[in-house]
């Protein structure tokens, strides 16, 4: 959007700037990821009041969807073990070569993500390029 809102402390002025920026666009999609509670759309510039503006939010909570007044719900299913491992390894990237010992740890980490795609992608992204088995063990322990 090319807006500098860093120094804008007044919520109403910040929301007004956002709203003006939204109105300058013909079509806009706003994605709010990992929402844990009801958000005030007015503080975000009331994007749903702007023609051509769509809002997508991701959350683990059905209650958040209800509180936000979502019109359409799409449930993302958990992946089975094989698909989860495939997504994890793809997200690691081809530059991360797993030794047999690290692969055992990585499989345990993927299992702990319980088939949740966002968790698998995020964790694999953090481990991308890591070749030290101690770092893998530490990450598994923290997980």
pLDDT in tens, 14-71: 888 888 888 888 888 988 888 988 888 888 888 888 888 888 998 888 999 998 888 8
Place of tokens 């890591």: 130
What digits encode the pLDDT tens for the residues 96-143? Answer: 778 999 999 999 999 999 998 888 999 999 999 999 999 999 999 998
Sign of the torsion formed by the C-alpha atoms of 108, 113, 117 and 121 = negative
Closest CA to 76 of 36, 38, 20, 119: 119
Q: Who's near 35: CB < 8 A, 6+ residues apart?
A: 57, 58, 59, 61, 64, 68
Quickly state the pLDDT bin for 8 (edges 50, 70, 90).
Answer: confident
State both tokens at 97.
Answer: 């070569």
Closest CA to 58 of 14, 109, 122: 122
- Give the whole-angstrom CA distance, residue 12 versus residue 40: 12
Which pLDDT value is given to residue 110? 94
Which pLDDT value is given to residue 77? 84
Which pLDDT value is given to residue 49? 82
At residue 76's C-alpha, the angle toward residues 69 and 38, to 5°, is 30
| Over residues 63-82, mean pLDDT | 90
Checking if the pLDDT of 91 tops 90, the result is: yes
pTM of the model: 0.60
Closest CA to 119 of 95, 90, 87: 87
Which pLDDT value is given to residue 80? 95
């Amino acid at each position: 959007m090319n807006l500098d809102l860093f120094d804008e402390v007044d919520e109403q002025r910040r929301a007004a700037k956002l709203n003006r920026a939204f109105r300058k666009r013909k079509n806009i999609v706003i994605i709010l990821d990992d929402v844990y509670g009801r958000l005030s759309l007015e503080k975000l510039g009331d994007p749903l009041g702007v023609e051509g503006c769509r809002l997508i939010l991701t959350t683990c909570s059905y209650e958040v969807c209800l509180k936000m007044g979502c019109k359409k719900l799409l449930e993302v299913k958990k992946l089975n073990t094989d698909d989860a491992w495939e997504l994890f390894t793809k997200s690691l990237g081809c530059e991360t070569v797993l030794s047999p010992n690290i692969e055992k740890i990585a499989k345990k980490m993927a299992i702990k993500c319980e088939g949740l795609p966002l968790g698998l992608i995020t964790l694999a992204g953090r481990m991308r390029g890591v070749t030290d088995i101690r770092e893998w063990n530490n990450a598994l322990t923290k997980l």
